[in-house]
């Protein structure tokens, strides 16, 4: 008679704990203080980046250190004070970027191994401090999220440059991913359209047309192969389709030019002047290239360009807020991050 020896019931394999994943939201940057010394430190770092000013030769060093950093900080500090978050003693860009990070962390709270933080390319908190903090929390993988819908070497690429510089000093490097530009992603275009429609519904007037103003860039950068202009055009065309507008009702312009070189055209300020002189009396401006309101949207558009428009005959001007940390804005970032984290979570 054969004796059957009962076998031990197989125990379920113990699932290895998932490695911690860091998500680092990265915005452009801001001075730490709304005064000349704070702005000077910020401008020095920003304008010393060869991705921003490609020719960093002796002539530029003389102009930067001998002229710009002596004069410009005082005037720009006055502009920052116009939009400063006095309650938190920081710029709105810092306030909003922090909030985006906190809201994304809350949205991903069911994934305990995901850690969300934020950083600035220029100023504080630095990219280095952000990466160091994620590594200190045990993150073996990091997803860097440049908060620029449209790619350019002077924004997205310089973020990558700095991330790579930080990792280059490490012996034990985390695995890295970087989110791609999202200039015509469906969630982004839908969020823009929803935001525009909601804001227009609150206005006491109906704009005759809408201007989509993007940050400018020297034309020579595009001539050398930067895809930024193409991305801005693609965003605007997608937004026109979604809103049911043609090019005469949703215009594309470029703002914030600097220096004497030719920049991408048409220029926003010149367009404001021209439209007003041609008889346009009611206008709205949206800034799709900015993920968060900042000096360029709150002061340059909402104040300077509004004044240009009204000084030349315009009557009613509306600056539509950026997506910021609104629900539609957070939907865009959440969808982007979850898509790029596939395989890690």
CB 51 within 8 A of CB 153: yes
Binding residues: 215, 296
φ and ψ of 99, to 5 deg: -65, -40
Query: What is the C-alpha to C-alpha distance for residues 296 and 245, in angstroms, rounded to an integer?
Result: 25
φ and ψ of 3, to 5 deg: -90, 125
Give 94-151 as a DSSP string.
HHHHHHHHHHHHHHTTT-TTEEEEEEEEEESSBHHHHHHHHHHTTEEEEEEEE--SS-
Q: What is the CA radius of gyration of the chain?
A: 23
Q: Taking Cα atoms as reference points, which of 304, 288, 300 lies closest to residue 211?
A: 288
Distant-in-sequence contacts of 224-231, Cβ < 8 A, 24+ apart? 226/152, 226/153, 226/154, 227/151, 227/152, 228/150, 228/151, 228/152, 228/153, 229/264, 231/149, 231/150, 231/151, 231/152, 231/181, 231/183, 231/184
- The H or E element containing residue 294 is none
Give 138-189 as a DSSP string.
TEEEEEEEE--SS--IIIIIHHHHHHHHHHHT-SSPPEEEEPPP-TT-HHHH
Binding residues for Fe(2+): 215, 296
Helix, coil or strand: residue 80: helix
The token pair at 139 is 């993150």
Q: Is the peptide bond before 125 cis (omega within 30 degrees of 0)?
A: yes
Q: Is the peptide bond before 266 cis (omega within 30 degrees of 0)?
A: yes
The token pair at 165 is 């510089």
What are 77's strand-pairing partners? Answer: none
């Amino acid at each position: 008679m054969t004796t059957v020896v009962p076998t031990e019931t197989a125990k379920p394999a113990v699932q290895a704990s998932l490695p911690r994943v860091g998500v680092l939201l990265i915005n452009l940057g801001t001075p730490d203080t709304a005064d000349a010394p704070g702005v000077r430190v910020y401008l020095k770092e920003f304008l010393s980046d060869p991705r921003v000013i490609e020719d960093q030769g002796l002539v530029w060093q003389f102009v930067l250190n001998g002229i710009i950093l002596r004069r410009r900080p005082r005037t720009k500090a006055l502009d920052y004070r116009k939009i400063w978050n006095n309650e938190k003693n920081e710029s709105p860009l810092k306030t909003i970027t922090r909030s985006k990070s906190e809201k994304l962390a809350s949205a991903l709270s069911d994934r305990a191994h995901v850690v969300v933080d934020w950083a600035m390319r220029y100023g504080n908190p630095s990219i280095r401090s952000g990466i160091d903090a994620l590594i200190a929390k045990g993150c073996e993988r990091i997803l860097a999220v440049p908060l620029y819908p449209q790619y350019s070497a002077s924004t997205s690429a310089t973020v990558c440059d700095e991330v790579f510089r930080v990792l280059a000093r490490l012996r034990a490097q985390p695995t890295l991913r970087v989110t791609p530009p999202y200039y015509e992603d469906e969630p982004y275009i839908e969020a823009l359209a929803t935001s525009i429609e909601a804001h227009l519904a609150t206005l006491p007037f109906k704009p005759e047309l809408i201007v989509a103003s993007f940050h400018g860039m020297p034309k020579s950068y595009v001539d050398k192969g930067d895809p930024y202009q193409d991305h801005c055009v693609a965003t605007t065309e997608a937004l026109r389709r979604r809103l049911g507008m043609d090019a005469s009702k949703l215009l594309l312009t470029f703002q914030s030019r600097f220096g004497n070189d030719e920049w991408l055209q048409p220029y926003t300020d010149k367009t404001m002047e021209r439209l007003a002189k041609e008889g346009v009396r009611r206008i709205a401006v949206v800034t799709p290239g900015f993920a968060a309101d900042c000096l360029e949207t709150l002061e340059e558009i909402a104040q300077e360009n509004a004044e240009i428009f009204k000084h030349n005959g315009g009557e009613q001007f509306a600056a539509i807020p950026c997506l910021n940390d609104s629900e539609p804005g957070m939907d865009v970032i959440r969808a982007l991050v979850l898509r790029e984290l596939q395989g890690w979570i």
